[in-house]
Amino acid sequence: MRYLQLLLLCVVASGCTYTVNSPAGKVQFVDQKAPVRVAPVISLAATPTVTDPTLKIQVARKVQAPVYEAEETDEVATEVNFDPTRPIAFLFDTLFGEGLRLLTQPERLAGALTGLESTVLGTKRVRSEPRRTSETQEIVEPWKAGAVTIDIDNAVSRWIVADDAGVVSVNLADEIARLPTYPRDALNVAVSTATATERDEKAFRLDLDTARALYLKGVDMSPHTPGAPPQTGDVRVDGKLLVVEITNRGAGATAQLRGTLQSPLAELNGREMLFGRIPPGHQRAWFTELPFPEETRYAEIPIRIVFSELNGFAPQDVEATLTVAGSD
């Protein structure tokens, strides 16, 4: 009956608590609110193509900040509590039920006693006043408040603030559409950002075909009022291109301005030219490659351009003869 004494002890000892203290240590952390140096970092995640005009920029901050340290004590309290009703129930089951066999099988008794106690674990941390060390640490993180400037051929500039992930995403076709004239050469694009003392810049070059394709994608065909009649600027052949320029000298922006080519040349007849929204004092060009073989030495092409505009402020129709002179 030596196990009976153990059961009675469990009933009497209704609770037991002990505490383990870990040795004091040090904790270090970086104070980013008082940086020694903050430098911006730009990376180009995606640059525009003929089919996708998206320019995606990742903006980050490289923060060099002081390291602080403080003393800490971790106190882990382990509390073991016994439920007195459970040993009593176990005792009666052992004395008067089939559980009597447990007294002759110690391993089964140990298994039955498992779970009689419940354990509660808690942690309390105490720190001393932090003090600055002589060390500094560098941290690179997304700069959600960062702003970038996008400059296209020193002719168009745009300032954009990054989102919470430090990302700037812009449709570059819309920006290229603001150029004073259509691209006659490849375009240089510069992306820059700066803090109070540091600056970072990345640059890339759009080839001529991509630049022209994005220019045509940037047509704003949104409806709006009021409008004012623009004027046809120039209709000419520029190398292998037929170029039509419209200058808005009216008092309001055009809306959904477009033109339709009429010509005995089947490859040009019925071709639509989109000019869209042209603000007052601005110019917009449309162009297409002339469908002539390289060996063409001379050609005269009569054309007519019929214009329409959402608010009825369309320029006068244009009739012209295009002269194409090949190289000797």
Tell me the C-alpha distance between 170 and 156, whole Å: 14
Q: How many C-beta atoms surround the C-beta of residue 150 within 10 A? A: 19
> What residues are paired with 303 via a beta bridge?
320
Calculate the CA 89 to chain-centre distance. 64
- Determine the Cα–Cα distance for residues 172 and 189; give it in Å rounded to an integer: 10
Per-residue confidence band for 292, with pLDDT thresholds at 50, 70 and 90: confident
Residues 234-249 have pLDDT tens digits of 888 887 788 999 998 8
When mean pLDDT is compared across 70-79, 125-134, 243-252, 269-278, the lowest value belongs to 70-79
Distance CA 118, CA 194 (A): 59
Q: Any alpha helices (H) in the chain, and if so which ranges? A: 2-12, 85-96, 106-113, 172-176, 208-217
Would you say residue 17 has pLDDT above 60? no
Which pLDDT value is given to residue 58? 97
Q: What pLDDT shows up at residue 116?
A: 47
Predicted confidence band of residue 8 (pLDDT cuts 50, 70, 90) = very low
Rounded mean pLDDT of 152-157?
94
Q: Which of the two residues, 129 and 161, has the higher pLDDT score? A: 161
pLDDT, residue 152, reads 97
Name the pLDDT band for 16 (thresholds 50, 70, 90). very low
Section 152-170 average pLDDT: 94
Please give the mean pLDDT across all residues of the chain: 80
Under 8 Å between Cβ of 66 and 30: yes
Q: State the Cα–Cα distance between residues 235 and 240, nearest whole angstrom.
A: 13
Confidence of residue 2 (pLDDT cuts 50, 70, 90): low
In terms of Cβ atoms closer than 10 Å to its own Cβ (0-12, 13-18, 19+), residue 105 is exposed
Average pLDDT over residues 113-140: 67
For 214-233, what is each residue's pLDDT tens digit?
999 999 998 887 777 788 77
